[in-house]
Amino acid sequence: MKVNGNGNDLVHKRVLIVDDEDNMRHMLKVMLSKAGYQVSEAANGAEALASMTSDHFDFVLCDIRMPEMDGMQFLREAQDKFPEKTIIMMSAYGTIETALEAMKMGAYDYISKPFKSDEVLLTLKKAEERERLKRENIILKQKLEKISKRYSFGNIIARSEAMARVFDLVEKVADHKTTVLITGESGTGKELIARAIHENGARSSGPLVCINCGGIPENLLESELFGYKKGAFTDAVRDKPGRFEEANGGTIFLDEIGDLPLPLQVKLLRVLQEEEITPLGDIGSKKVDVRIIAATSKDLEKEVREGRFREDLFYRINVMTIHLPPLRERRGDIPLLVGYFIDVFNRKLKKKIEGLSSEAMPILMAYSWPGNVRELENVIERAILLAQGRWITPAELPSHMTQINLGGPLEGPEDTLSLKKASKRLERNLIKKVLKLTNGNRSKAARILEISRPMLLAKIREFGLE
């Protein structure tokens, strides 16, 4: 091991020379040792394979014509056993075609005999550079995978710590049949989380059936969920399987389960307990193998206290809860989501919008987003439709957003149209809103604003919000 002037270790590359000629091996060993390589020798392919099995080599220099096991046979077996190794073939005059064939089989390069020492060293340096690039590509790929994993999960785009915790829970529950309850305000992406759980789990090859419990009339919901037999009611002219049967072997997603009528809550409880359903008009029950994921924007504990939701069902579906924070509590995700939606709607609407202007982004960052990600998606689609140039400006944003967030209409005296002053006003108003939202809890406010607590304290002093 050598050490350079900076104190960094310089690791010697290890080379295996495979040649039946003693003189050739000796000459190459002397030359490569002087160049700083650690060199080992083998007289034929069989010896070389044995050495590679017991020891590590960065590069192999191998002659093509050898007794016992020639270079081509060695190459075939080495490629099979050590596919990542860099093998350079050495060929005498008249065997160039064979050398080219060896490269087709996976050899990195070949050197024609007789050769100059510079040719061998140059080929090895090129091989070293290739290995360095391969390592860098692997590291880069790993970094990109980490970034991708951090910023997205399926079609869910986020980079906030709150959503990173959600992604972690999704990974943990995906492979199990555990019932999951997804909570969060309308528009936060509860169905996307349900799809991510299904698609990343052991049931991904089975069906995913989604049903909105609040979107189907009560008198039709039971037959929709559990199916019916012919003659069960006037219009039942044939047997019809329900959504639970359709989801057999897969997952059923019950959106807005808080809207499920009490009589159907009893039947759903039976499905969870017994894993069987009874279609309308049938006297027998059917076994079903279904994973249940439920979602609600309601406070189910409050619904239980007020008698609108069964307590026993609540505890059955609340085995694992995943809460999706509203967009106003993860504002750091807004620029990422904006970029994603711009890409989506550029393709959909055949536009070439590059992004938001410096005046438009602070407005989106300061807005409260009562409709969450769904509202942001609609705002960006509308803005792209209206945009005349390459950038989305405040003119393309809904008027209620620009008026609320700038403390009034954009028009006004010249001194109120200063971008610097407007940004300060936006920053002050946003901090004031978050402090009010958190009842003055500065640590929580700093997390929501995604700044450090000391920075928040400095801003509070600067804006006189103490």
Would you mind telling me the total number of residues written for the chain in this entry?
Answer: 466
- Span 282-289, mean pLDDT? 87
Tokens of 353: 């919008």
DSSP state string for 58-125: SEEEEES--SSS-HHHHHHHHHHH-TT-EEEEEE-TT-HHHHHHHHHTT--EEEESS--HHHHHHHHH
For residues 432 and 21, what is the distance between their CA atoms, to the nearest angstrom? 83
Q: Is 286 helix (H, G, I), strand (E, B) or coil?
A: strand
Is the pLDDT reported for residue 384 higher than 80? yes
24-28, 64-68, 157-161, 202-206: least confidently modelled range: 157-161
What is the average pLDDT score of the chain?
84
309-313, 346-350, 358-362, 420-424: least confidently modelled range: 420-424
Q: Burial letters for 79-91: b for 16+ Cβ neighbours within 10 Å, e otherwise?
A: eeebeebbbbbbb
Tokens of 204: 């991904």
User: What is the reported pLDDT for 413?
Assistant: 44
For residues 59 and 28, what is the distance between their CA atoms, to the nearest angstrom? 13
- Asked whether the beta carbons of 170 and 193 are under 8 A apart, the reply is yes
User: What is the reported pLDDT for 313?
Assistant: 94
How far is the first Cα of the chain from the last one, in angstroms, to the nearest whole number?
61
User: What is the reported pLDDT for 411?
Assistant: 41
Classify residue 336 as exposed, middle or buried by CB count within 10 Å of its CB (0-12, 13-18, 19+): middle
Q: Which amino acid is at 226?
A: F
**pLDDT tens per residue, range 76-94:** 999 889 988 899 988 876 5
What's the pTM? Answer: 0.57
User: What is the reported pLDDT for 315?
Assistant: 93
DSSP state for residue 207 in the 8-state scheme: -
Which residue blocks in 367-463 are alpha helix, DSSP H? 372-386, 399-405, 419-437, 442-449, 453-462
Is the pLDDT reported for residue 405 higher than 50? no
User: What is the reported pLDDT for 5?
Assistant: 41
- Span 190-202, mean pLDDT? 92
Is the pLDDT reported for residue 4 higher than 70? no
More confident residue, 436 or 194: 194
User: What is the reported pLDDT for 282?
Assistant: 83
**pLDDT tens per residue, range 214-232:** 888 887 888 889 988 888 7
Distance of CA 240 to the CA centre of its chain: 39
Domains and CATH numbers, the chain: 2-139 (3.40.50.2300), 160-325 (3.40.50.300), 328-462 (1.10.8.60)
User: What is the reported pLDDT for 285?
Assistant: 86
Is the pLDDT reported for residue 320 higher than 90? yes
User: What is the reported pLDDT for 439?
Assistant: 83
**pLDDT tens per residue, range 325-364:** 999 988 888 988 998 899 899 999 999 999 898 888 889 9
